[in-house]
Structure 1
Amino acid sequence: MSKATIGLTVTHRRYVPYSHAHYAGNLVDGAYVLALFGDVATEVCIQADGDEGLFASYSDVQFLQPLRAGDVVEVKATITRVGNRSRDLEFSAYVVCRGRPDQSESAAEVLAEPLEITRATGTVVVPVA
């Protein structure tokens, strides 16, 4: 039986290694965050329906701020609509810690306020229960 309910939220955090920097300034491409959204959507499906589900589509993606190597990023997915087999999800990504290479090679800080870097909405589908 499905436990899918509006408001169910799953959160993941991950350190972004320097091996993922692709651009000057240690910038990380937006696809990295979208992959994290896929991971958190998978856990939402497992929590709600006992199945990994499938990502069907994004209806909106907004890249608001850069993600950099050395950051710790927090991603969240929240169910906003429950259909027979589909669930609409709202995604957000925040930088909660940021590397400080200006201070030293390994310096980093916890941000006083998380920095929203990406938001999106999408749809996943799960098998019929």
Structure 2
Amino acid sequence: MSAVEGLTVRHRRYIPYSHAHYAGNLVDGAYGLGLFGDVATELCIRSDGDEGLFASYSDVQFHSPIRAGDVVETTAVLTRVGTRSRTIEFSVHVVCRGRPDLGESAAEVCDPPVLATSAVGTVVVPPKS
């Protein structure tokens, strides 16, 4: 195992209605940050054989809301490899969205996907032995 710039991990997830906190079935902005933690963990396992620890976020941007009934794709791309630190670019895109205005269970594919949240993060991994 070795950390290689460009390594990419993607997760997809349906957002259940039980996660909505606000009017319009919106989920809180921190939801996307939690998804970033999940893909960062897998990326660290794949690159370093360890779950790693988050050290910081920079440039967090909320571009579009995430709603209950959405299917989102969260992506992590390893962009810098230090001795123990790793810089990762993150994004959450809405790839499908519920359309309750068209029917109780109506939904559509978002083409193109809608960027909801982006960020840059730094994780640290244990030193190589």
Asked if these proteins are the same fold (TM beyond 0.5), I'd say: yes
Match of 2:125 in 1: 126
Structure 2: gaps spanning 5 or more residues: none
Instruction: Tell me what 1:35 maps to.
Output: 34
- CA offsets, 1:60-91, max 9 Å, x none? 10000000000000000001100000000000
- Return the letter of the residue paired with 2:62: F
Letter in 1 for 2:92: A
Q: Distance in 1 between matches of 2:115 and 2:109?
A: 14
1:70-125, Cα deviation, whole Å (9 max, x unpaired): 00000000011000000000001100000000011111111121000111001000
CA–CA separation in structure 1 for the residues paired with 2:82 and 2:19: 36
SS of alignment partner, residue 6 of structure 2 = coil
Residue 23 (structure 2) aligns with: 24
CA RMSD of aligned residues (A): 0.7
| Cα shift at 1:17 | 0.2
> Counterpart of 1:74 in structure 2: which amino acid?
E
* Alpha-carbon distance in 2 for matches of 1:100, 1:3: 43
Q: Partners in 2 of 1:25 and 1:7 — Cα distance?
A: 37
TM-score normalised to structure 2 length: 0.97
How far apart, CA to CA, are the structure 2 residues paired with 1:52 and 1:67?
Answer: 27
Aligned residues: 128
TM-score normalised by structure 1 residue count: 0.97
Pairwise CA distance, 1:16: 0.2
Gapped runs of 5+ residues in structure 1?
none
Amino acid at match of 1:101: P
Q: Corresponding residue for 2:12? A: 13
- Equivalent residue of 1:28, what SS? coil
Q: CA deviation at 1:59?
A: 1.4
Question: Identity, % of aligned pairs?
Answer: 73
Instruction: Quote the Cα distance in structure 2 between the aligned partners of 1:3 and 1:100.
Output: 43
| Matches of 1:13 and 1:96, distance apart in 2 | 9
Where in structure 2 are the equivalents of 1:43-122 lying within 5 Å? Answer: 43-122=42-121
Per-residue Cα deviation, 1:10-32 (whole angstroms, up to 9, x for no partner): 00000000000000000110111
Q: For residue 46 of structure 2, what is the amino acid of its counterpart?
A: Q
